């Protein structure tokens, strides 16, 4: 057995141990406080750096996106205009179809003979006195004179009536 410290030495060293422990605890507390301060400073700096980086990225993205956005906007407007024109064309075509269907139902109706006589007179007058008149398949007449053809078929008259509406057809899609 090895001899231990002399009796009373442990008791004599106790104040030294306590002092060392207190010093170590105080130093650890200072180190923790310094680490907390440094960590808070680092976090604040990281937030500043992130805000600056984000602002820079947003500015760069806006500079890059502006021409793309303008081009996309032009394309979207073009597509929208094309869609509107297509819809307007479809509405005109539908109106023309409805008018043609309406006049196609005229032959055989009361008053058609009187209408046909008026159309025939006008066609003969427009084509000249030597015009040759033929009945159109869908109703009405076609007059052929020297150097002239006057189509007074019901379908042609229906198309002319729709064309004569001109800008008034826009009322179909006006709000």
Q: What is the pLDDT of residues 123-133, one digit of tens each?
A: 999 999 889 99
Q: Is 6 inside a domain boundary? A: no
For residues 175 and 38, the model is more confident at 38
Q: Could you give the number of structural domains in the chain?
A: 1
Q: Is 4 inside a domain boundary? A: no
Distance CA 149, CA 146 (A): 8
Q: Is 114 inside a domain boundary? A: yes
Tens digit of pLDDT for each residue in 69-115? 888 888 888 888 888 888 888 888 888 888 888 888 889 889 999 98
Q: Is 5 inside a domain boundary? A: no
pLDDT of 39 over the 80 cut: no
pLDDT of 119 over the 90 cut: yes
Q: Is 81 inside a domain boundary? A: yes
Largest interatomic CA distance in the chain: 154
Q: Is 119 inside a domain boundary? A: yes
For residues 2 and 131, the model is more confident at 131
Determine contact, residues 143/123, Cβ cutoff 8 Å. yes
Q: Is 129 inside a domain boundary? A: yes
Q: Is 3 inside a domain boundary? A: no
Q: Check residue 24 and give its pLDDT.
A: 63
Q: Check residue 142 and give its pLDDT.
A: 95
pLDDT of 1 over the 60 cut: no
């Amino acid at each position: 057995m090895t001899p231990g410290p002399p009796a009373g030495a442990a008791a004599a060293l106790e104040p030294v141990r306590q002092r060392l422990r207190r010093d170590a605890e105080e130093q650890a507390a200072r180190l923790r406080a310094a680490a907390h301060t440094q960590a808070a400073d680092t976090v604040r700096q990281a937030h500043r750096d992130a805000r600056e980086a984000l602002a820079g990225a947003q500015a760069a993205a806006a500079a890059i996106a502006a021409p793309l956005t303008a081009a996309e906007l032009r394309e979207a407007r073009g597509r929208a205009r094309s869609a509107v024109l297509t819809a307007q064309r479809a509405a005109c075509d539908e109106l023309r179809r409805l008018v043609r269907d309406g006049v196609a139902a005229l032959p055989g109706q009361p008053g058609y003979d009187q209408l046909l006589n008026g159309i025939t007179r006008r066609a003969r007058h427009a084509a000249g006195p030597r015009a040759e008149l033929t009945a159109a398949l869908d109703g009405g007449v076609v007059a052929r004179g020297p150097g002239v053809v006057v189509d007074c078929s019901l379908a042609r008259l229906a198309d002319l009536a729709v064309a004569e509406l001109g800008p008034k057809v826009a009322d179909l899609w006006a709000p």
